[in-house]
Amino acid sequence: MAEWEKRIFGIHTVMMAESTHLDKALPKYPLSQVPTSFKDTWTWASLRTGAESMQPFEYFKYRYYEKWLMGISQFFVDRGYVTAKELATLTEHYRANPDAPLPERPNPALKEQVVRYLHHGDSGLRAPVAPVRFAVGDTVYVADPEAADHTRLPGFLRNKKGTVTEVYPGAFEYFVSTGPDSLAGPQHVYCVSFDASDIWGADKSEPNTVIYADLFDAYLKPPH
Amino acid sequence: MSSLFDYDKNREAASAAKVRALEALLIKKGVLGSDSVDAVLSHFETVAGPFNGARIVARAWLDSEYKRRLLEDTPKAIAELQFPGMTGAEGEHMKAVANSETVHNLIICTLCSCYPWPVLGLPPYWYKDPVFRSRGVREPRAVLREFGVPISADKEVKVWDSSAQIRWFVIPERPANSEHLNEEQLAALVTPEAMMGVALVPPPQAT
């Protein structure tokens, strides 16, 4: 990882650690006591939605952390934390003076929150609100919901036949609703196995190969 | 619109300067402290990393009862070792799967780059590359062969796509001629790649 890639990874992780939604997270973070001017929700979903809704050519044109840097900078401009002009001006300054120092303003209480977040995370585990629909051993088909800006359904599994191998205890809530893609609120999650031949076709797949995916309830349907 | 096809003449310097400018502005505006990003990076040097996974694997090799518990309830078995931060970010729900004489496991995230941070640290670049993410499920045996891990047709290949809450990792097979090694020496043989399923653990060098 290049040094600058580490920095953007770090900025993203601090944003997740001070995201406003964390006051309701399972570890009960004391977010109101954390001194920060960041007043937005920022989760993995924010970053992933940004990347998945990029112009497709640009998605392939840029490297992984280049996409992060573009998405995160744009977010701070769009939300009014910085202006495009001050970012451009300061970027020129650091380009001409790569070793010029950063401002020295430690924030011990924010640092504590970052360490707390790294140690305790942000689990989506919730109490179930609907009955379990499938049991281990059940044959299921993967749904084909409308394409949206963001999904947790691997595209290659749409409409494929699989077998439930595990029903995870509890329910899980994804960071955001994905609208027509159908994630919203707590849902059961199932581990589903797929024979490679059922995904790619018997004569087009490798032998003796099984793909497992963890799928939210809304992505599954019973056999016709 | 030729700019669509253009890159900055020095992409690395451009990105480096932009990140530094962004971090400086965010410090100035009170979104970050000047010690915030360093706190994240130091976590991945000292608390979360493949050194944890390697010790968990070594323990499983030495203690078959521990291995059974690790496969049955991964977080509970990891908690026995009392490493800090093991249910932290991207490790809230982890599961181990074991390679054996009959099964070879590969972990992947076809949608993005989900990875069990507390036990493996941060994923390498290729794990996030769209080519690995698509070919890893389309032709995992071919990909494994390219990684130097040919799997015979009679051995089952299981690919684990980290598409919801679970972060998977692999307990590789214990190498031959390692009976005399203690836990620390065994852990030193275990690489992050072996715990992703794209490498085997080689036998120890003869001394």
What pLDDT is stored for residue A51 in this prediction? Answer: 85
Q: Do A121 and B164 touch (CB under 8 A)?
A: no
Q: Between chains, do A209 and B138 touch, taking CB under 8 Å as contact? A: no
Q: Which chain A residues touch B27 with a CB distance below 8 Å?
A: 102-103, 105
Cβ–Cβ under 8 Å, residues A210 and A161:
no
Which pLDDT band holds residue A145 (cuts at 50, 70, 90)? very high
- Confidence label for A42 from pLDDT (cuts 50, 70 and 90): very high
Q: What is the 3-state secondary structure (H, E, C) of A82-103?
A: CCHHHHHHHHHHHHHCCCCCCC
Q: What is the pLDDT of residue A100?
A: 97
Rounded to two decimals, the pTM is: 0.95
Q: Which of A87, A115, A172 sits opposite B43 (nearest CB)?
A: A115
Terminal CA-CA length for chain B: 63
If 0-12 CB within 10 Å is exposed, 13-18 middle and 19+ buried, where does residue A75 land?
middle
Spatial CA neighbour of A199 closest among A211, A189, A190, A191:
A211
Tell me if B19 and A4 make a contact (CB, 8 A cut-off).
yes
Per-residue pLDDT, B147:
97
* Mutation site, B2, B11, B20, B97, interface A, largest A CB count within 10 A: B20
pLDDT tens digits, one per residue of B92-123:
999 999 999 999 999 999 999 999 999 999 99
Place of tokens 């998945």: A52
A150-185 pLDDT per residue, tens: 999 999 999 999 999 999 999 999 999 999 999 999
Within A21-119, strands assigned E span none
- Compute the nearest-CA separation of B181 from chain A (Å): 32
Per CB-CB distance under 8 Å, the chain A contacts of B20 are: 4, 7, 91, 94, 98, 100, 102
Residue B199 has pLDDT above 90, yes or no: yes
Of the partner residues A11, A151, A216, the one whose CB lies closest to the CB of residue B26: A11
pLDDT score for A194: 98
Given pLDDT bands bounded at 50, 70 and 90, which one contains residue A5? very high
Question: Average pLDDT for residues A91-106, to the nearest whole number?
Answer: 97
Nearest Cβ partner for B20 among A13, A94, A214? A94
Asked about B114 being catalytic, the answer comes back as yes
Supply B90's token pair.
């991207």
Which residues in chain B are contacts of A69 at CB distance < 8 A?
A: 15, 18-19, 22
Selected catalytic residue, list B36, B42, B100, B112: B112
Can you list the alpha helix ranges (DSSP code H) found in B91-162?
Answer: 117-120, 125-128, 130-138, 140-146
Q: How much is the pLDDT for B207?
A: 57
Mean of pLDDT over chain B: 96
Judge: B22–A82 Cβ closer than 8 Å, yes or no: yes
Confidence (pLDDT) at A1 = 86
Is B152 among the catalytic positions?
no
Is B112 one of the annotated active-site residues of the chain? yes
The answer to whether residue A72 scores a pLDDT higher than 80 is yes
End-to-end Cα separation, chain A, in angstroms: 48
Q: Which of A9, A110, A214 to mutate to test the interface with B (most CBs of B within 10 A)?
A: A214
- Per-residue pLDDT tens for B71-84? 999 999 999 999 99
Two tokens at A29? 């973070």
Average pLDDT (A72-100) is 97
Torsions phi, psi of A193, nearest 5? -100, 145
Which DSSP symbol is given to B82? Answer: T
Q: Decide if pLDDT at A4 tops 90.
A: yes
Angle between helices B36-46 and A3-17 (to 10 degrees): 100
Q: Name which of B15, B42, B105, B112 to mutate to probe chain A: the one with the most chain A Cβ atoms within 10 A of its Cβ.
A: B15
Q: What percent of chain B has pLDDT over 70?
A: 98
How many CB atoms are closer than 10 A to CB A161? 15
Q: Which two tokens stand for residue A77?
A: 């401009």
Query: Any idea which of A8-17, A43-52, A149-158, B54-63 has the lowest mean pLDDT?
Result: A43-52
Q: What is the pLDDT of residues B130-181, one digit of tens each?
A: 999 999 999 999 999 999 999 999 999 999 999 999 999 999 999 999 999 9
Do A39 and A59 contact (CB within 8 A), yes or no?
no
User: How many angstroms separate the CA of residue A136 from the nearest CA in chain B?
Assistant: 16
Alpha-carbon span A191 to A54, nearest angstrom:
29
Residue A111: its chain B contacts at CB < 8 A? 33, 35-36, 39
> What number is the average pLDDT over the span A119-140?
97
Among candidate residues B114, B134, B162, B178, the one labeled active-site is: B114
As for the ipTM of the complex, it is 0.95
State the pLDDT at residue A55: 87
Q: B4 pLDDT band (50/70/90 cuts)? A: confident
Q: Please tell me the predicted confidence (pLDDT) of residue A181.
A: 96
In whole angstroms, give the CA distance from residue B86 to residue A135.
30
As a whole number of angstroms, the distance between CA B159 and CA B8 comes to: 38
Q: Which residue of B has its CA nearest to A195?
A: B158
By DSSP bridging, strand B167-171 and strand B156-161 are unpaired
- What is the model's pLDDT at position B115? 97
Chain-centroid distance of CA B83 in Å reads 17
- pLDDT for residue B205: 83
| B109 in catalytic set | yes
- pLDDT-derived band of residue B36, with 50, 70 and 90 as boundaries? very high
Q: What SS3 string covers B101-117?
A: CCEEEEEECCCCCCCCH
pLDDT reading at B3 higher than 90: no
Cβ contact A143:A218 at 8 Å: yes
Residue B2 has pLDDT above 70, yes or no: no
Largest CA distance in chain A: 65
